[in-house]
Amino acid sequence: MSGKALFSLIILNLVLCTVAANVRCFKCAGVPKIEDCSNTITCGDNEECFVRKSVGAVGNTLVESGCMSTNVCKLISSGKRSTEMNKRASVGCFQCCNSDFCNKHLCTSQPLHANHLECFSCNDVLKPEHCTQTYVCGREQECYSEMRLLSTNYEKRYSLGCTSKVLCRALEADAGSGGGNYCSKCCHDSYCNTKLCGLLNNAKPLMTVKPQDRNALPGDKIELQCLVAHIDGVPFNITWTHQNSNNNVSTPPVQLTRESQILDMTITSQHYGYWTCSARNQNGVVNATALIKPPVPSG
């Protein structure tokens, strides 16, 4: 590859990375000060964070914040739209910025939450990034994130917030023995806890087989289902094996449907015995076993 082509490829990658990283901002309307804003929003393409601080008709201070087109931000900041804005209220401050949550520091001369962290705070959300509320922690507290797998349907749930530093250390130590179905982590910077437990690179799959035991006559059509809970972003694969074979199951009368991990079979005497479903990812393998046996003779 020529030097010019390589340079063009590097520039293209930089552009793609810049476009993909949409900024996140605090969003509020009509609060008396930016410190009171705890809602967040992810901006669209070519948008950035802003804060507009105005004085209302009765002398009260009104703060509006959120996302705004980068071009509009530049126009307003340059004063080209100040006449239109003054028709609604007397604007005391208008500022824009283009990094995550940066507008919490705009249009204010006071240090924000000195010696305190501000963390995302939610209970039982499906994804950490779905949490849009923030909370100011107390002294000697840190941001934390917790993930657990529900035993009923293997869905993940996340809880985020503030907790004491001492409790953080205990929760992190306890989560280390959770086997991949539980995560608890803490961090020491404001707004840091949405990315702590979203991807568990060290987690193995969690699995069960239904039904675990099955009585069947020759000629019966049955299915075994391998239910796997896994972590997004950590690929895994499934194999079935029979106790009398070291080969993976892949030929009729047994048919493996990859998408649903279901093993369909028409029973013969060779199918009796233990069947093992194995789920493997980069961190290891877990197994679950089902037993197929003939019915117990009556009388």
What secondary structure does DSSP assign to 76-125, as a single string?
A: HHTTTTHHHHHHHSEEEEEEEE-STTGGGGSS--SPTTTT--EEE-EEEE
Q: How far apart are CA 94 and CA 92, in angstroms?
A: 7
Residue 41's nearest CA partner among 53, 32, 50, 30 is 50
| CATH architecture of the domain with range 118-187 | Ribbon (2.10)
Q: Where are the beta strands (DSSP E) in 131-259?
A: 134-136, 141-149, 156-164, 182-187, 206-210, 213-215, 221-229, 236-242, 255-257
Q: Which residues of 119-150 are buried (b: 16+ CB within 10 A; e: fewer)?
A: bbbbeebeebeebbebbbbeeebbbbbbbbbe
pTM for the model stands at 0.52
CATH T-level assignment (fold) for domain 23-105: CD59 (2.10.60)
Secondary structure element (H or E) that encloses residue 48, with its range = strand 47-55
Main-chain phi, psi angles of 17, to 5 degrees: -65, -40
* pLDDT tier, 114 (very low <50, low <70, confident <90, very high otherwise): low
Query: How confident is the model over 14-36, as a mean pLDDT?
Result: 70
Domain boundaries in the chain?
23-105, 118-187, 206-293
Q: How far apart are CA 273 and CA 26, in angstroms?
A: 60
Q: Report pLDDT for 64.
A: 92
CATH superfamily of 206-293: Immunoglobulins (2.60.40.10)
* pLDDT tier, 2 (very low <50, low <70, confident <90, very high otherwise): very low
- Extract the tokens encoding 171: 């929760």
Asked if 23-105 and 206-293 have one fold, the answer is no
Out of 206-210, 257-261, 279-283, least confident range:
257-261
Place of tokens 């990283």: 21
> Angle CA(263)–CA(264)–CA(265) in degrees, nearest 5?
120
Out of 10-24, 28-42, 99-113, 168-182, least confident range:
10-24
